[in-house]
Homo-oligomer: A and B are copies of this chain.
C-alpha cells in the first residue's frame, strides 16, 4: 500500500473548514495538477474559475440550497465545460459541430478528470473538501454572474480547505464490487441480491452516523434525492446556449 493509494482509499467528503487561507503557491500547484489530467484530443475543454468574491460565494451557497460550506471554504473552484475556446480559436471548423452531444461529453469528461486531479493534489497537500453539484439548481444565474460566454457551462464546485475535525468521518460504504465491475458484458444476474445486502449496510451506516435519525436504505435515499433534484432547467438552458442540440 503506497501513499497515493492510501490517500485515495481513505476518501470522505469534508464540509467543515478552518479559516486558514490557502496561499497562492498551493493554488497554483493545484491548478497545474488539474491541467496535467488526460484530455480528449488535447482540447482542454474546460475552464476553472476561482471564486474569491464573498458576495459570489454567498450567491452560490444559496443556489446550492444553502450549503454553508460553499461560503466558508477558503478555496472554491468553479469547474465549467468550455467549448467557447474551440469556437473562437480552432481553425477551419464548422461551429455547428459544437452543439452535438459528443462535444458536451468531451467537455464534461475533460472538466471532471481535471477536477479529480485537483482534488487529489489538494489532499496530498493536507487539504480536504467536497464537490458541490447543487449550483446546477440555477445554471442560468451562475452563467450570468460569472459572465460565462456562450458554449461555456457551469458543472460543479470543488470546495477546499483545512479540515476542522480532528476525527475523520467514517467512510461511506460503496456498492459491492461485483455490481459495478462486470466482465466482458453487462451481467446483472446477482445484482438484486447484492443490492439488497448493500441496502442494509447503508442503512446501518446512516443510523450510526446520525445517531439513529436517518435510517434510509441506499435505494430509498437515492430515490428521494433523485426526485428532489430533477433539474430540468439544465437541459433547457444548455440548449439555449447552443449545447447538445444534436
Closest to A246 in B: B235
Chain B binder among A15-23, A65-73, A118-126, A162-170: A118-126
A61 within 8 Å of B (CB atoms): no
Mark out the residues of chain A between 172 and 206 whose CB falls within 8 Å of any chain B CB in the assembled complex: 172, 174-175, 177, 179-188, 191, 195
The distance in angstroms between the C-alpha atoms of A56 and B238, with both chains bound, is 36
Is the CB–CB distance between A47 and B186 below 8 Å? Answer: yes
A229 within 8 Å of B (CB atoms): yes
Chain A 208-240: CB-based contact to B (< 8 A → 1; otherwise 0)? 000000000111111111110111101110100
The distance in angstroms between the C-alpha atoms of A117 and B9, with both chains bound, is 10
Is the CB–CB distance between B226 and A130 below 8 Å? Answer: no
Residue numbers in B under 8 Å from A5 (CB-CB) = 29, 33, 121, 124-125
The distance in angstroms between the C-alpha atoms of A230 and B174, with both chains bound, is 36
The distance in angstroms between the C-alpha atoms of A44 and B222, with both chains bound, is 10
Q: Can you sample 25 A-B contacts with CB below 8 Å?
A: A4-B121, A5-B29, A5-B121, A10-B36, A11-B36, A32-B177, A35-B180, A38-B119, A41-B226, A41-B229, A42-B225, A43-B222, A44-B175, A47-B181, A50-B182, A50-B184, A86-B226, A89-B195, A105-B136, A108-B108, A109-B155, A109-B156, A147-B185, A147-B186, A147-B187
Chain A residues packing against B (C-beta within 8 Å):
2-5, 7-11, 13, 28-29, 31-38, 40-44, 46-53, 56, 85-86, 89-94, 97, 100-103, 105-106, 108-109, 112-113, 115-117, 119-121, 124-125, 130-131, 133, 136, 145-149, 152, 155-156, 171-172, 174-175, 177, 179-188, 191, 195, 217-227, 229-232, 234-236, 238, 244, 246
